Each structure stands twice: as C-alpha cells, then as structure tokens.
Amino acid sequence: MEPLRPDDPRRLGPYDVVARLDADGDRIPVPERRFIARLPGGNRTVLISLPLPGTDPARFAAEATAARQRPPHPWLAPVTEAGGTAEAPWYASPYLPALPLTAALAAHQGPLPEHTVGALGAALVEALAALHATGVTHAGLSPAAVLITAGGPLLTCFGAVRAAAPDGEQRSGLPGLASGSVAPEQLTGGRPRPPGDIYALGSVLAYAATGHLVPPGTPAQVGWCGPGTCPENIWISSIWTLANLRPTGNTSTSGPGKSMRSGSPTETGYGNSVKAEPRATSRRASVRTADRRSRTARCTWPRGPADLSP
C-alpha cells in the first residue's frame, strides 16, 4: 500500500480512494493503475483498476465487462463492479490484503523458496486451464498481474496486451507491458492466443524463482539471483509446472495434467495441429498424469510468512 500522489483520483464512483496498491518506480511495468478504495461508511473495501495513459480505454472496459461474466475460480480475481466514463473506465474487485508478486520478492529480499514457486505455478496452471477451456486467453500475465494473498495467488490484469494496442500494431515498449512476459508474436502485433499465456507463465515462474525478467533477445538480467546462486531444483519445478499445461489430443480439461485444447482453432490457437497420443502410449501417459497429480496434491500454498523462508 502506497500513499496517493497529487494526480491520483480521490473518488471513483461511490468509493473514496485511500491508497495506491503499487509502488512508484517499480522496475517491472504494471499493466493498470490500481487503487484501494472504500465506501464512505467503511463497510466495503475494494481494489479498483484504471487503464494506463496511452492504452485503449474502450478495450479496457470491454475486458472488464467480459471478466464480470467469467465463471468464478479460486485463483482468478473476481470483477464485481464496473463504472466510469468512456474515456475513464474502471472496475472493482473485492479487496483482500495482497502484495503484487514484485513486492513479495522485494519483501522477501530475493527469489521465493522452491516450494512456494511450485505452489504458485500449480495455482496459475489451474487458473489458465480454466480460462483456456472456455476459449479465453488471459493476454496479460506478468509478475505485476499476480497478487499474493494469504490464501494463494490471484490472477488479475486480463487483456492488458489487447488494451495496449490492437492486433496488427507493434506492442513492444508500450505502457504497462513487461516485454519479457509478452510472447514475441504478440509484441509484433499478433493476436493473443493460449500459447502466449504459457510463454508468460514461464516468465512469471522464472521471475519468482530467480528475480530475473529477461527482455527478449538480450542477455540483460535484473534481480538478485545470479549464475550458480539459485537452487538447481527450482528449474525442475518450473519446467514440470509448464509440462502440466501442454496440450494433448483430448477435448476435456479441468486442471493440471488435463488438455488445454477446446473450441475452434481461432478460439485457442491449437486447432487440429495437435494430435492425440497413439493408443500404444496411452498407458504410459496415464501413469505420467497420475504422477503429476500426486505431486500437485503435495504442493500446498504457504500458510503464512514463515512458509516463505527457505
């Protein structure tokens, strides 16, 4: 929680704005302007998001409207209200004490422990699986889009890539986009699709595990964890989490280890290019899936600050 700046709004709809969620000068871009606000009587507190200057407010409002109609999920921040004008829309979610992932690493003074990164990855996999099963691409996953609460992560900032610029236009260097978390084809104007979410997931897990967010095509690294100073098993956890999200030839999906394919090629980007595993390998695939589910069951979210310690 940060104090308000002179140019920040003091009132949004029925809510009094009391603080900013994100700190000034964060080296990881934040896709939205986020504020903590409450009703004058104090009986309701919300997290309110506004579009960044330079982004498309109409697209931002459309993403908020779509998010309000989304089925609830424990790892997706619910959007319960929307308001404002065509030039200055906003949306609100019920407030829970939370830190952006970037602030969580700062508070921890470095990368998160391996078991915490594993739990984070498992939760984000479930959230993306739920979205992709309905033909929805998040198109905004980045370290700043992940809020860490006592009960687990919440995924926010839906459609940030689409709000930054429409398909067909360059997005590299635009406000709010962490270039290391945006798939290369999206940076060059390509339509966001589920594989881009998986690219972003890998970036978020790498950031949580190392403190690095590496811009595409450059060797620059930012963070606390240098070569040889991070536990090797952290990479195994990240790779395993991503492996659970790989598409298969099945058509049902309900979580890690299940298919991410659903709908038409234009809805998900997978289409008919993904083939089912041969029947001869189905037994081995079932064993691998069961083993992943077992490891997911053992990957529980930390229950308090003590669980963030190595």
Return the CATH number at 183: 1.10.510.10
This prediction's pTM? 0.74
Residue 217 and residue 150 in one domain: yes
Residue 162 and residue 260 in one domain: yes
Residue 204 and residue 294 in one domain: yes
| 129 part of a folded domain | yes
Residue 185 and residue 233 in one domain: yes
| 6 part of a folded domain | no
Q: At what angle do helices 194-210 and 114-133 cross, to 10 degrees?
A: 170
Residue 149 and residue 287 in one domain: yes
Average pLDDT over residues 190-195: 96
For residue 241, what are the domain limits?
99-300
CA distances from 9 to 35, 37, 89 (A): 9, 10, 12
| 310 part of a folded domain | no
Residue 76 and residue 107 in one domain: no
pLDDT digits (tens, 9 = 90+) for 51-109: 999 999 999 999 999 999 999 999 999 999 999 999 999 999 999 999 999 999 999 99
Q: Are 27 and 7 in contact (CB under 8 A)?
A: no
Is the pLDDT reported for residue 255 higher than 90? no
With vertex at residue 259, the alpha carbon angle to CA 264 and CA 136, rounded to the nearest 5 degrees, is 50
| Total number of domains constituting the chain | 2
Boundary residue ending a domain (72, 94, 116): 94
Residue 178 and residue 280 in one domain: yes
Residue 285 and residue 267 in one domain: yes
